[in-house]
Amino acid sequence: MNLWELLASLVNDHTVRTVALGTAGLGAVSGVLGAFAVLRRQSLLGDALSHAALPGVALAYMLTASKTPLVLMLGAGFTGFLAIGLFFIITRHTRIKEDASLGIVLSTFFGVGLLLLTYLQRNPDARQAGLNSFLFGQAAALLTRDLVTIAIFGGLALLVVFILWKEFKLLSFDRDFGSSLGFPMPGLDLLLTSLLVVVIVLGLQAVGVVLMSAMIVAPGAAARQWTDDLARMALLAAFFGALAGVSGALISSLGSGLSTGPVIVLCASAIVLVSLLLAPNRGLAWNAWRNWRSRSRLRGEAVLLDLYRMGAQHEDALQPHPVSALEAVSGARATQRSLQNLLARGLVQPGKNNWWALTEQGLAEAQRMEAALAADRDEQ
């Protein structure tokens, strides 16, 4: 199958289309809320909350004997809130730090969920409720009605974010200032975290408990590299989340044995990697190039000054000097390359046998630099 056929299956193949739409929607919504989570240093809260949803799924099934996704999601949301409550109680009232209380909430809620689910599975009817589908997600089993659920709840979550944009921005960047303006910060905090719970519960079906946290963190962390503006960051995160969702769905439709959840996570991770390397102003490759450029510029300036100072000891300031003399004076590496750079800027001119001299323009530039250095010294 070539790339074109793969993309065409997005339109023609009903299953692929449904799955891709579902994962794209999920990716977009979790990207927006993940952007806030990343900024608020709550990346791992998503991990804990998604694990805490498991006992809720089991409880909902025990109480209602229904496998309707909406009922199971309500249960998951309920235990998600319990988990948040426990997390806040532990971190606010004891000296146990955030990481440990996250670890406790995550692992013990998951343990309770596992206990309940295996207890339920003694009853053969419950077996189809499928522990597996909640652990790793079953995006391939997404139906049209799941799309509707995702669209409604995801849309509502985005609407709340849109309406309370200014308040959530305050919450993320300067909570104390927000309080002083009279905004109910604890309530807003709870609301934003609740939206996170909603998104995680939505995503459980597709990506699963174990990997849902990556859908929260990765798009937000990638988007952070490209911009310093919250609105752009949220939009970018939504785009990255949707991109990871669609490409994950497509790639996993290619082969057997490729569960959608892990493939989506790997796609999201690839987006993060590219962003970390290439993003302008922050990216590692960008930084390396900028460092290299400023280093070669500095080396060039050193050579120019050396040439000027050597020339100042002669009658003629434009007296040529051999490269070997320059190398001996500066001790700097890559003198030849620096000279070529200076030549390109018209500051030096070559003579015979690799002797070099300042041009009039270079002389003026060197005098300006020397004066600036002297001024610096005077200030000190």
Partner 1 sequence: MSSAQIEIQLIGLVVAAACALPGVFLVLRGMAMMSDAISHTVLLGIVLGFMVLGDLESPWLIIAAAAMGLITVSLIELLNNTKLVKQDAAIGLVFPALFSLAVILISRFARGVHLDNDAVLLGELAFAPFNRILLFGVSLPHSLVVMGVILLVNIAFIALFYKELKLATFDAGLAMALGFSPALIHYGLMALVSVTAVGAFDAVGSIMVVAFMVAPGAAAYLLTDRLDRMLLYAVLIGAAGTLGGYWMAHWLDANIAGSMSTIIGLLFVLCLLFAPRRGLLAIAARRRRQKWEFAQTMLAIHLLHHEGTAEAGVENRLEHLHDHLRWEPGFARGVVRRAREGGLISQSNGSLLLTAQGRQLAEQNLEG
> Of the two residues 96 and 143, which places its CB atom closer to partner 1 in the complex?
96
Report, in Å, the least distance between residue 221 CB and partner 1.
Answer: 5
> Of the two residues 102 and 185, which places its CB atom closer to partner 1 in the complex?
102
Whether the Cβ atoms of residue 137 and residue 211 lie closer than 8 Å to each other: yes
Report, in Å, the least distance between residue 105 CB and partner 1.
Answer: 9
Report, in Å, the least distance between residue 213 CB and partner 1.
Answer: 5
67 scored as a contact of partner 1 (CB under 8 A):
no
The one among 133, 225, 247, 335 contacting partner 1 by CB under 8 A:
225
131 scored as a contact of partner 1 (CB under 8 A):
yes
Residues 234-273 close enough to bind partner 1 by CB under 8 A:
255, 257-259, 261-263, 265-266, 269, 272
Residues 12-31 close enough to bind partner 1 by CB under 8 A:
none
Report, in Å, the least distance between residue 257 CB and partner 1.
Answer: 4
Report, in Å, the least distance between residue 41 CB and partner 1.
Answer: 5
52 scored as a contact of partner 1 (CB under 8 A):
no
What x/- string results for residues 86 through 115 when contact with partner 1 is judged by CB under 8 A?
---xx--xxxxxxxxxxxx-xxxxxxxxxx
> Could you tell me how many residues of this chain bind partner 1 (CB under 8 A)?
67
What x/- string results for residues 335 through 364 when contact with partner 1 is judged by CB under 8 A?
------------------------------
33 scored as a contact of partner 1 (CB under 8 A):
no
Question: What residue ranges bind partner 1 (CB under 8 A)?
Answer: 38, 41-44, 46-47, 51, 89-90, 93-104, 106-119, 122, 131-132, 135-136, 210-211, 213-214, 216-218, 220-221, 224-225, 255, 257-259, 261-263, 265-266, 269, 272, 276, 282-284
